[in-house]
Structure 1
């Protein structure tokens, strides 16, 4: 069994598939870490007068994404919630290192259009290539 399990979430429905697998490999003393990353590249690309609105929208989206994961957890299982800003794959890897994560459980792709076109989303691919811990990649059906 794994003690610390990281489930990155972007709020896509596929996250629940990944969460189900995370719960299956969790033991009675495990903690599920729900992490949502606000992609700074999105709000930095917005015009200066729109950045605040974009950041607020992304923050609310991230809060909802983490809340959805926590809401699906049994009350008896320990959970940790985190929202960070940055480049998603980098933040996921940093979080895993900082919190001694034993395994990362994530879907094959997220909800961004470009990621859905690829067999393995770019965030997932970069996490798999660079993680110091095992990564369980769960196939997400369209």
Structure 2
């Protein structure tokens, strides 16, 4: 939990995208300065497997992708000598992030944003926006580089 010393437990959700890794890099800088630990979450959305006759295989493949992404997170944190905990959760990403932050006493959530506007944002939805609106702790957004 947040103490008078500052933020001690930082959550950075990752999805394997370049934008998420930019958010991780910012989180590493913060963790190093604040002497904080990082928790990194990879959410596997079961709805991405619906309709496949091999739903279990699709979910397993998504979890394998998550493990590879979290291995990269652990490697980057180790290179910066920052303590890290990683986990994979099944569920809609925004719900998984909010639940993890609450259940694990996170002090700050750091997330990437693509800065989409208009119809793109409406059609695609925004995990980051949902988390910002519903989180019980501060959320720091990191703008992804232009593609």
State TM-score, norm by structure 1: 0.85
Runs of 4+ with >3 A deviation:
none
2:7–2:34 contact (8 Å) kept in structure 1: no
Tell me, yes or no, if the aligned pair for 1:108 and 1:121 is still in contact at 8 Å. no
The answer to whether structure 1 residue 84 and structure 2 residue 84 are counterparts is no
Contact 1:17 1:107 (C-alpha < 8 Å) held by counterparts? yes
Match of 1:118 in 2: 121
Give the alignment's Cα RMSD to 1 decimal.
1.8
The answer for unaligned runs of 5 or more in structure 1 is 110-116
3-state SS of paired residue (2:61): helix
When structure 1 is superposed on structure 2, of 118-127 and 96-105 the one drifting more is: 118-127
Q: Deviations over 1:80-126 (max 9, x none)?
A: 011000111001000000111111001004xxxxxxx4399611110
Residue 98 of structure 1 is aligned with which of 94, 103, 112? 103
Partner of residue 48, structure 2:
42
Q: Residues 34 and 79 of structure 1 are in contact (CA less than 8 Å); yes or no, is this contact kept in structure 2?
A: yes
Contact 1:40-1:87 at 8 Å conserved across structures = yes
Partner Cα distance (1:101, 1:28) in 2: 14
Q: How many residues align?
A: 133
TM-score normalised by L of structure 2 = 0.83
Where in structure 2 are there 5+ consecutive unaligned residues? Answer: 1-5, 115-119
Asked if the contact 2:7/2:107 (under 8 Å) is kept, the reply is: yes
Q: CA deviation at 1:2?
A: 1.6
Match of 2:36 among 30, 33, 55: 30
Which one has a bigger Cα radius of gyration?
Answer: 2
1:46 offset after TM fit, Å?
2.5
Establish whether residue 63 from structure 1 lines up as the match of residue 67 from structure 2.
yes
- Is the 1:10–1:37 Cα contact (8 Å) retained in structure 2? yes
